Structure formats: C-alpha cells, structure tokens
Structure 1
Amino acid sequence: MRIPVRFIAGRALFYAFTAWAAITINFFLPRMLKGDPVSAYMQKQAGQITPEAENALRILFGLDEDKSLWQQYVEYWRLLLSGDLGLSFSHGLAPVGEVISSALPWTVGLVGIATIISFVLGTSLGAVIGWRRGSKLDALIPVTTFFGTVPYFWLGLIAIALFSSTLHWFPASHAYDKGSVPEFSLDFIGQVIHHGALPAITIVVASLGGWILGMRNMMLTVLDEDYITVAQAKGMPNKRVLRHYAARNAVLPQIQSFALSLGFIVGGTIVMEMVFSYPGVGKLLLDATTAKDYPLMQGLFLIITMAVLVANILADVAYAVLDPRTRQAEA
C-alpha cells in the first residue's frame, strides 16, 4: 500500500494553513472582546495594584500598549512556540499550561473511554441490525434514538435522581471522594471508577443511537452492492461476508466520524461536567468564561482547536489507508 506524495503534500499544506488560521483567530479573538484580562484583573483587586504594576502585567501578558498589534502578534507566536500559554488570573497567576494539564486527564479518561465504548458497541450493533434487517433487533433503533434526542442536561439529572439519590449505586458528583488526595493506588482508582461510572454511562446512552443508526444505514447500502451478492453466491459463510465484506466497507464513514469525535474529547462535554461537577476541561472552560479569565480561555480554545485538527488528520490518514479510492481521487 502506497499513499501518493501529492495526497500527503496537499493535506499537509491544507492543515498547516488551517493551524495558522486557528492560532491567528485565537490571538485576535480576546482582543476583539470588550476590555482585556489585565483590566478585569485590576477590577477584582479593587485598586490594590499600582499603575506601575498594571503596566508590568500588560507587558507580561503581551498587551503592552507601546507595542503595535503586529509586534504583539509576533511576540504571541514566540511565546507559543516556546510553550508559554500565559498565566491564569482565576488560579492565582498559575501557568495556563499547568492548569490545563491538571484537568485534561480527567476529561480524556472519562469522555475518551465512554466514546470508545459507545463507538464499538454502536457500530457492532448497527452492523448486526443492518445484516438482519426486518428482525426484532430493529426495535433498538427507536429506543436508542430517543435517548439521543433527550437533552443531556435532563438525562444527567434523571440518572442522578434514579441511580444516585434513589438507588444509591453511584455518587452524584465529583471525580473522587471528598477529602481524598489524588494518588496512584487501588483505593483511589476505585474511587475514580465509581465516580466516573454514572457520567460515562449517560454519555454512552446519549450517543449510542447515532452510531447504531449510522452503521445500520451504511450496511443497508453496502448489502445492495454486487460484490456482496457474488460473495454469497460463492457460498461463503454469512459471518465471513458480514465481517470481511459488508461491515468492512460500511464502517469507513464510521471511522471518520469516530476520528473526529476523538478531537472533541479534549473539549469535553461541558454539560456533563457541569451536571456532575466533574473537574474536566469542559468545566474549566465554563469557569474561565465566568471569571473572564481570558488567558485560560485562550489556552483552552487553542488546545481544543489543535486536538480537532489532529483528529481530522488522523481521519484523513485512516480513510486513505482503508479506502484506496480516496488516495486515487486525491492523486
């Protein structure tokens, strides 16, 4: 298998331009908002900071009024390439990178695992339902689709009311028990799993219908292709036709959608983290927006954008590897 150089070069050029555009928008967006982070920070301090200290803060955050917008833009790129995302006002002027890195594992661990489970389970069920169209398994489609249309806010509250408040099976909030200190031990890992089970289940239930319906519809399309008819006419076992012919081709759009969904894992599910008070990136972004912590907001938007961009790259590579027609068309 050989991927054409023209395909790789074209994609690399496109994503390089997209990355530049995203970073540039991330630079100008906070400057287009009313006020600036230093002014917001000064208001919170209620005149406790001298004008000299305010000017020092503006220089520190790349908002020096003596520099032109172009000079600030160049300085932003310099700091970005050195890995400096600035300081967070709402976290005691802690580096933005450290604040994000403390919340990122919680989101990636919870939403990532839930997304993978939902994809694998939904795609597998969709393939079987599509293969056995007209059977009793079709009843799963309206049920799972219904849960997918329920607002996640209500679904989370219902899950808390039923499984936490009534049955007392799972905790209602947070990522671990109050008073516990994060550490690598079996007891703490058990707490994390116990606290993360309920939000993970709600994510799976909410997204399962989309994966099932998408795979089932693609299976119905693929089953009408000539190569499926030929494979069955040759007397191949149904399981082999299902796995190696029908499902293998029907899963291509699913894989692309899955790769894209991986990019949004970094952004987390803001509503889910808000409902369950989960200390992930989504809740961190909500708190940063409420506190008008522009450096933290800027860093979060950048991380989320780059994650989605990388996911798009992986989706293109996966599609090119699995579908030769894509490589030929691009070449």
Structure 2
Amino acid sequence: MRYYARKSGFYLVALWAALTLNFFIPRLLPGNPVDVLMAKLQQRGGTVDPSVRRSYELLLGTDTSETLWSQYFSYLGNMLRGDLGISVSVFPAEVSAVIGQALPWTIVLVGMATLISFVLGIVLGTVVGWKRGSWADALVPATTVLAAVPYFWLALLLVALFASALNWFPLLGGYDVALSPGWNRDFLFSAVHHGFLPAMTIVISSVGGWLLGMRNMMVSTMSEDYLLTARAKGLRNSRIMTRYAARNAVLPSVAGFAISLGFVVSGSIITEQVFSYPGIGSRLLQAVQNNDYALMQGIFLVITVTVLAANLLIDLLYGAIDPRTRVQN
C-alpha cells in the first residue's frame, strides 16, 4: 500500500509541476494574445479603444492590472473547475470545444498508426530475432534507415507519389468537405481514405524502432536456459518461438508501447501540417503562431495528464506483476 501511495504522490507532484510550467512558459513568449485579437478586430473595421482592450484582457485572463502570481492562482482554480478559457485563434470558441473537435481525429490517426506499427514491428522483430544471421536480418538496416528519414520529407514523398502522380489518395484534409460528419458509411470511408497517407507516414517512420528492440530482446532471450529445456522436451519450433521466446522478449516493448500511447494525444505536428489534417497538432501550431495562451495550456494539459496517467498505470502494473519493484532501497 505504501508503494502505491508513494507513486500516486509522486505523480501528483509531477502534475502540479507540469501545470506550473504550463502557465509560465507561454507567458515567456514574445507578444500578447490581446494584441492579436485587437489587430484582427481592426482589420475587420471594428472599434479599437481602451474599453474593448480591457474587455478582452478580462475575457482571456491576461489582466495587466493583476500580478503574475494572482493570474497563476486564478489559472489553477480554473483548471480544477475544468475551465480552460477562451481561444484567441478560434475566437470566441471555448478551448475545451476546440480540443474536443480536434482530439478524436488525432486519437484515431496516431493511435491506429501507433498500434499498427507496434504489432508489425513486434511480429517482424520476432521473426528476425529467431532467424538471426539469415536473410531476415536485412530488414533491420532497411527499417532503421526509414526511421531516420525526416517526417516531413517522407510525407512529401508519399504525397508526390500516391496523391499527385498516381492520384490514389487525396492531397489534403481529413474528409471530403462535401460530406457532413457523422457515423455513416460515406463519411467513414472518406475519413479512412484521407487518413491513409498520414497513417502510412507514421507507420513507416516508427516500425523500425519496434522491430530493432524486439529483435535484440529475442536474441538475448534465446540464450536462456528455459529455451534449452523447451527444445529438450521436443516442442515445436513455432511453439518455442511464440510461447517461450517472444512472450518474454516482448515485455519491455509492451512497456514502451504503453508510454507511446500516452503521447498519442500530442499528435504528429509535421505530418498533420503536410496533409492539412484537422488534428491536435495543427491546433497546437496555430495556438503558438497566435500566442493563444489558453489553447496552448489546454493542449499541454491534455498531453501532460495523458502521459502521466500512462506512466502511473505502468508503474502500478509493474508493482502488481513483480513484487520486487515494491521493495524500497
């Protein structure tokens, strides 16, 4: 019980530290979100006077008459109430609504791509590790090279080949704008069609890491005594590979996969920008460009909570599976 209480306390402190950084870092950036809104209002022919500016400051929580610490405690209170504020870049929409619209796109795209790359990398890594020294080892340098290719270059290459030259997939967007979003066949097919190239970019770039990690763990596991015992019993090679070697070698990769799932909500900014995909990464870049404190803080909060929750879950599961991890040094 002390182990679980200690871990929970650690992650609560980590959450508070992340929230504090989440508040101060955007305010260290040059510019002011009120100035952005005032400039937009002026471009549209609106009235720009001190009273309007004061209203925007109160609305966005950047009241210059308050001290930075007063704004900080107000920010913490708003976070506890779930009030993420008003977005400047999508004014006057609430931050929670903006994140709610973009987050499902990112979770589906990046989540599915991460799952596919993990499964593909583990399967290939198992085969390559089991047949080490054979032709299968050629997959390792090939996938490592692909993992080293910059995201944006690979994305542009796929766009040029499959979208522009072959015209198999659309160039931009998350779905056909002529369709109304909903749980119907036409929209779902359009969303899958538009998301195929972005997902392929993520899979190609990340599968090499899973393959290499699994391959190395397979090579290490195959020297264990219990595999020699399994062979001595006359078990089939396929059973030894899957039930004995792969089952034990995959444990570190499962932990890494759980952590990577925590980063799914952060999206893939470069991939989403290349394909103009309506995910959370595009919203984050838009918030940075417009000094949108509230939207930046809201997105960082979602990312932070998800990553911390994933790490806490892993720690608690390890504590339940392996009692040795609960022993204090």
So what's the TM-score if we normalise by structure 1?
A: 0.92
Gap change, CA 1:214 and 1:225, over 3 Å in 2: same
> What is the percent sequence identity of the aligned residues?
52
Gap change, CA 1:140 and 1:27, over 3 Å in 2: same
Are the equivalent residues in 1 in contact too, given 2:125–2:214 (CA < 8 A)?
A: yes
In 1, distance between residues paired with 2:53 and 2:14?
A: 35
Gap change, CA 1:161 and 1:31, over 3 Å in 2: closer
Are the equivalent residues in 2 in contact too, given 1:38–1:54 (CA < 8 A)?
A: yes
The Cα shift of 1:31 comes to 2.5
Are the equivalent residues in 2 in contact too, given 1:30–1:36 (CA < 8 A)?
A: no
The Cα shift of 1:314 comes to 2.5
In 1, distance between residues paired with 2:138 and 2:317?
A: 32
Give runs of aligned pairs for residues 206-285 of structure 1, distance below 5 A.
206-285=205-284
Matching residue's letter, 1:273: E
Q: Deviations over 1:212-268 (max 9, x none)?
A: 000000111111222222332233333332223221221121011111111111011
What corresponds to 2:304 in structure 1? Answer: 305
Q: Deviations over 1:187-220 (max 9, x none)?
A: 1111011111111112111111110000000111
Unaligned runs of 5+ in 1: none
Structure 1 residue corresponding to 2:2, chosen from 3, 6, 20: 6
Are the equivalent residues in 1 in contact too, given 2:27–2:293 (CA < 8 A)?
A: no
Give runs of aligned pairs for residues 126-145 of structure 1, distance below 5 A.
126-145=125-144
The Cα shift of 1:56 comes to 2.8
In 1, distance between residues paired with 2:152 and 2:25?
A: 29
Provide the aligned C-alpha RMSD in A.
1.9
The Cα shift of 1:321 comes to 4.4
What corresponds to 2:37 in structure 1? Answer: 41
What corresponds to 1:102 in structure 2? Answer: 101
What corresponds to 1:84 in structure 2? Answer: 83
Give runs of aligned pairs for residues 132-171 of structure 1, distance below 5 A.
132-171=131-170
SS for the counterpart of 1:180 is: coil
Are the equivalent residues in 2 in contact too, given 1:252–1:322 (CA < 8 A)?
A: no
In 1, distance between residues paired with 2:173 and 2:317?
A: 36
Q: Deviations over 1:272-304 (max 9, x none)?
A: 001111010111111121222222112111111
Are the equivalent residues in 2 in contact too, given 1:256–1:319 (CA < 8 A)?
A: no
In 2, distance between residues paired with 1:146 and 1:314?
A: 33
Are the equivalent residues in 2 in contact too, given 1:255–1:315 (CA < 8 A)?
A: no
What corresponds to 2:60 in structure 1? Answer: 61
What corresponds to 1:17 in structure 2? Answer: 13
What corresponds to 2:124 in structure 1? Answer: 125
